[in-house]
Amino acid sequence: MNNTESIKYLYPHEKTALFRALEADQSAHCLRNRAIFYLAEYCGMRASEVGLVRLSDINLPAKEIHVHRLKKSNCNTLRIIDANVFDALRIYYIQMLQLTSSNPNQILFPSQKGTPISRKTLDELMKKYCQIAGLPDEKAHFHALKHTRAITLAEAGADTKEIQYWLGHKSIKNTEIYYQFTTSQYEALYRKLEKK
């Protein structure tokens, strides 16, 4: 990622509006969609990585998910400490176990054809929920969820190595770019200067 202007992410109030739209959804695939969006944003997943998740990648007792990263990124296992994310995953996961006779190789998020959910479908869902939430069209791309997680981590004070691990970045340069969009580091700098 070289062009910083291409980074689109959701501000906290926009993220809240998006997930409010997801929570209000009562369609046939609402549980699946909630689990997808909560997990993708929390883990900083690409659309193409969502389709790689299998039942065996989820460890409910440990509250962990193994994320298969693409584009030469590092695969990693993340603990799910956000209750909303865990609940959305747990409810959907249990439903999938009942439908698949506990086959560990079963894709967690299949399409209607049984193949991994496509990037195109995920982008269409993002557009749908962003429209319901009243979010700008330029942010209605699934990849905005990955950027949103990176900015959230940076704002929380995570350092570059921590964010690099979380997102599975091989190169630290891909991680450093997000610090242009966070104010927490600047505020910490000013606090240090005020003490002198």
Q: Would you say residue 59 lies in a domain?
A: yes
Label residue 24 by pLDDT band (50, 70, 90): very high
Report how many domains make up the chain: 1
Tens-digit pLDDT profile for residues 117-130: 999 999 999 999 99
pLDDT score of 98: 86
CA 19 → CA 85, 109, 170, 178, distances in Å?
11, 19, 30, 23
DSSP 168: T
Amino acid at 118: S
Q: Would you say residue 1 lies in a domain?
A: no
What is the C-alpha separation between 109 and 51, in angstroms, rounded? Answer: 6
**pLDDT exceeds cutoff 70 at 29:** yes
What is the domain-level CATH number for residue 156?
A: 1.10.443.10
pLDDT score of 181: 61
Q: Looking at residues 47-58, what average pLDDT do you find? A: 96
pLDDT score of 133: 98
pLDDT score of 7: 82
pLDDT, mean over the chain: 89
What is the C-alpha separation between 35 and 24, in angstroms, rounded? Answer: 14
Q: Would you say residue 188 lies in a domain?
A: yes
Q: Both tokens of residue 79?
A: 């603990």
- E strands present in 22-107: 58-59, 64-67, 76-79
Q: Would you say residue 53 lies in a domain?
A: yes
Higher-pLDDT residue of 46 and 112 is 46
Largest CA distance in the chain: 64
Burial class (CB in 10 A: 0-12, 13-18, 19+), 171: exposed
Tens-digit pLDDT profile for residues 143-184: 999 999 999 998 888 888 898 999 998 877 766 666 666 665
Q: Would you say residue 4 lies in a domain?
A: no
Q: Would you say residue 3 lies in a domain?
A: no
Q: Would you say residue 2 lies in a domain?
A: no
Q: What is the share, in percent, of the chain residues with pLDDT greater than 90? A: 68
Strand 58-59 versus strand 76-79 pairing type: unpaired
What is the C-alpha separation between 108 and 100, in angstroms, rounded? Answer: 10
Q: Looking at residues 93-100, what average pLDDT do you find? A: 88
pLDDT score of 169: 87
Label residue 1 by pLDDT band (50, 70, 90): very low
Structural domain boundaries enclosing 185: 10-194
